[in-house]
Structure 1
């Protein structure tokens, strides 16, 4: 698969290198790399068959950015944004070039991750995204958290839920033993007001008052969770930042936040979308703040002595929005072109997986559900079969990833990827066929040259679609 060369994408990070060393305890070699030293070359992924130090089940720290584009990290090619801590995480583990979200917007991707199934298998997953109290994740449906909990894990979710509202839906009703965060899709970072003016910061199912910058609060909570004495009990922490989702407000922008609050309270339900605000510079601030926040949590993990036995996974929930750097992909959030669904994805597990590796295997959100359940010793519920495949054999033993198709469906668009080929139908109703290995930008339609393959992939998409719930009229 053709992709951006990481050797060309890691730039100097001179301005804050000294602070990063102090705050995160970086080694001298890591600090040199982050401040302009030559980056270590990645090698194609290969499982370390003889390593096997991690006999115990791993802790799982699963971190999601919000609307972060595929190339918004410097290790994925961002020309201006500097993300030394996430770059370091990638050097210590595996960077995936062809990793995808389960859908093109927030809620359905979270459904696919939490259930391991296509969003269209559940009523709540049909909302793209959830915008009111009429839909949510059924508490009776097994989830990554409930299945790991039943296998002996402690479970917590910190940050954005966006899978339904109280009183019927909540992380604490779907397997997470603890919840601290927001229920909706977006909030003003200081006031915690939603687009409708409701306050949206909760601990468990009760409001929690804190008017500081939201990313700071979530980072502190995550650090506190990691620092606890968990003993020998493994844990799952879903850490879901809202950064860099709109509104485009960085830490310290109290005046900009206050203006949005004024507009919300005057009845402007679109104020939170901040369509008259933001800039590339502001977006860079927000992404770099996300990077520092992730770095603080990883530093706490290292100090706690749990780093070796903790699987850390970082990704975005979907493609980037209007300030994202998605080059060379086409499309962005909401689209099933790769810019809307291909996301930066990094995995690190020091006990079992070697660093400085890159994987070009196509994977997506439901696969990580299946993978984590297998690694955690949890059995999926046979009444709710998974749509993802476990990558545990690939990651730990070098097994081939099972052949399968990656499937997406949103209102007005459809897509299916099989190997290097992608079938896509946009809102114009025209079927297209792209060979991603030579056309990552999805510009050269091969449907006329390969009508047989187009027909085959379209039929495969139709077979899966017939199993799913129809969209409401």
Structure 2
């Protein structure tokens, strides 16, 4: 027995070393099962189809985002649900077209939660699948009860009431008050002796405003955005108090990226879903000094470089944690591009030959293609074969697709407009949607090579943002194979196609179509 008692520890040590050597370097004990990959959804603000070098931009490079494209699938016909932010985000969370529910237009900074707490949502589906869920960054879906949020107490209901385990939020957008971060239910660093008040109806308090005190501004508004001044920038809406809690715009990208990385590290031992919603490249565009002046295109180009850096930080953190091979990364934008969206920031003057929308017509707010066709990438090493997909896809389908990926069955009333397109998102199928509805100034539908825009009496051109909105009192029909796209209205010569697509659009608007 003495002989074996001396040998046994040595054998156990050798077996332990052998087990360590055999373990693949990209796998850690903290990695969840491959059947439930981590999911990181990077949702960008106002990024255009032509704003990345992997989509043809030549005035600057976006190497970290390009790396996702090189390692994954780059979609050329992927769409946000709306050409503005709040509706797209509502659809992303609920799998329901935003025009089905009143009050889902662009939200004010003091809007109450617009997603009913009894709804099934993308994060609540993933919670059912055993995921820890977190949202970091821009929210813009409202916070608080119908009576209004109390910014000096628990700010709820919000993300934690609709399926998220953790939240660190920019409550609305950077150009709207309140200019504070909200972590879970509380305003971060709030001094109780300096309570916050917010109004979008009338001026409150005696804080200086951009309209009354332009000499205090480091960035002047071009249209609107002339109310309470925070960090030398006037905003939409009035705010008093909360001075200790107010953000510094130049630090915002670093702050939310640090929070996103901390969420991944904290939850590395189980499957997690991170909805990382960047503020870039929305106005006000105030890059950190590391990026200011680096693009040559002014602040708009600089914050694209800053965005690329943040994406690189997320992917590097996954590498560091040994989670890259078991993480599905989805990258896209809430709507298309806008150059001047309310501030004099040299975006127009320094644009040069850069084309934010690429070859597409329109932009943010528009029913034309540049309003909703946005850069979209899917990367999952070893699971998604690198390449390019021309499949017609929509963000409305992320909820049902990720439910299928994680083995969750959906009832008919859950995420009603969302369809399971997971094989297309993973590149296992090149078959896209049979149609995509585009929600802009007018309603539009794309089926095959044809696009129909329903008649609308709105203005055709928005002079402040310099974008064609796609409104016209007559029906519009475009063959998307025409070059240039959406320039020749073929409605008069194709009345049968107009009727067919108008009836399809009406059918979709009346009720969800069968799954």
| Residue equivalent to 1:46 | none
Among 151, 158, 174, the alignment partner of 1:170 is: 158
- Change in CA separation of 1:402 and 1:443 when aligned onto 2, cut-off 3 Å: closer
Alignment of 1:23-422 (within 5 A): 55-125=34-104, 127-130=105-108, 132-133=110-111, 136-166=114-144, 167=149, 169-187=157-175, 194-195=176-177, 198-209=178-189, 211-212=247-248, 213-231=251-269, 233-252=270-289, 280-322=297-339, 323=347, 325-355=356-386, 357-395=387-425, 398-399=428-429, 401=431, 403-410=433-440, 412-422=441-451
Could you tell me the TM-score, scaled by structure 1's length?
Answer: 0.76
| Residue equivalent to 1:442 | 486
Distance 2:504 2:291 in 1: 51
Could you tell me the TM-score, scaled by structure 2's length?
Answer: 0.70
SS in 2 for 1:457: helix
- Change in CA separation of 1:200 and 1:450 when aligned onto 2, cut-off 3 Å: same
Distance 2:401 2:480 in 1: 25
How far is the alpha carbon of 1:403 from its aligned partner? 4.8
- Change in CA separation of 1:310 and 1:253 when aligned onto 2, cut-off 3 Å: closer
8 Å CA contact 1:107–1:130 kept in 2: the answer is no
Q: Deviations over 1:267-306 (max 9, x none)?
A: xxxxxxxxxxx99321111000100111011001011111
- Change in CA separation of 1:279 and 1:202 when aligned onto 2, cut-off 3 Å: farther
8 Å CA contact 1:163–1:169 kept in 2: the answer is no
SS in 2 for 1:284: helix
How far is the alpha carbon of 1:228 from its aligned partner? 2.7
How far is the alpha carbon of 1:389 from its aligned partner? 2.0
| Residue equivalent to 2:199 | none
SS in 1 for 2:305: helix
Distance 1:132 1:441 in 2: 39
Distance 2:171 2:49 in 1: 25
Structure 2: give runs of 5+ residues left out of the alignment.
Answer: 1-32, 150-155, 190-244, 340-346, 348-354, 455-469
Q: Deviations over 1:376-432 (max 9, x none)?
A: 22223432353132222335584463653211334x511001011111134232211
| Residue equivalent to 2:242 | none
How far is the alpha carbon of 1:96 from its aligned partner? 0.3
Structure 1: give runs of 5+ residues left out of the alignment.
Answer: 1-53, 188-193, 256-277, 469-473
- 1:458 and 2:502 matched: yes
| Residue equivalent to 1:191 | none
Question: Pairwise CA RMSD of aligned residues?
Answer: 2.5
Distance 1:395 1:136 in 2: 28
8 Å CA contact 1:123–1:135 kept in 2: the answer is no
SS in 1 for 2:324: coil
| Residue equivalent to 2:472 | 428
Distance 1:254 1:457 in 2: 46
Greater alpha carbon shift after TM alignment, 93-102 vs 374-383? 374-383
Equivalent residue pairs, number: 382
How far is the alpha carbon of 1:439 from its aligned partner? 3.6
Distance 2:157 2:479 in 1: 41
- Change in CA separation of 1:186 and 1:95 when aligned onto 2, cut-off 3 Å: same
SS in 2 for 1:64: strand
Q: Deviations over 1:73-119 (max 9, x none)?
A: 01111121310000011000000010110101111000111111211
8 Å CA contact 1:147–1:379 kept in 2: the answer is no
SS in 2 for 1:184: coil
